[in-house]
Amino acid sequence: MELTSENANGAVIVKAVGRVDGANARDFHEGLESSIGADGKSMVLDFAGLSYISSAGLRVVLLVAKSLQQRNAKLAVCSLTESIREVFEISGFDKIVPVYANSSEAVSGLEI
């Protein structure tokens, strides 16, 4: 799993590439927390390159959403593959984290 982040209109876009499972969920969490930084910008998780995520990764997404909310910032996700979208829906995550088609729609949707 690789994470890269870039700034866009006051938000940070984090691209996750590869797999997030029970073996690397902690790295995923640490990587996302460090991308939040001290200024507490809102975050877009771009999953275009993510091929797999299990409940261990979903747990991290929820923790990051909670962490951002405490800083009055928001989390959005975008570019989910069909399989990952299904996992989000079964988990009810699509109801608590807004899902967008791509990162530019997500950034404008965050209304920063």
Partner 1 sequence: MSLALDSDPAELQRLADAIEEFAEREGWSPDLAFKINLVLEEMVMNVITHGNVDGLAEIQVKVTSSEDSVALQLVDNGVAFDPLTDAPEPEIAGSVQERHIGGLGIHLVRTMMDHISYERAEGRNLLTMTTKKA
Which chain residues interact with partner 1 by CB under 8 A?
19, 21-23, 51-52, 54-56, 58-59, 62-63, 65-66, 69, 82-83, 86-87, 90-92, 95-97
Q: Which is nearer to partner 1, 82 or 111 (CB)?
A: 82
Using alpha carbons only, give the angle 63, 83, 105 rounded to the nearest 5 degrees. Answer: 65
Query: Minimum Å distance from CB 75 to partner 1?
Result: 8
User: For residue 91, what are its two tokens?
Assistant: 């988990």
Query: Minimum Å distance from CB 55 to partner 1?
Result: 4
d(CA 83, CA 93): 14
User: For residue 7, what are its two tokens?
Assistant: 């700034």
Q: Tell me the CA distances in angstroms from 64 to 42, 79, 82, one per residue in order.
A: 11, 18, 22
Query: Minimum Å distance from CB 47 to partner 1?
Result: 13
Q: Which is nearer to partner 1, 54 or 104 (CB)?
A: 54
Q: Which is nearer to partner 1, 55 or 108 (CB)?
A: 55
Q: Which amino acid belongs to residue 59?
A: R
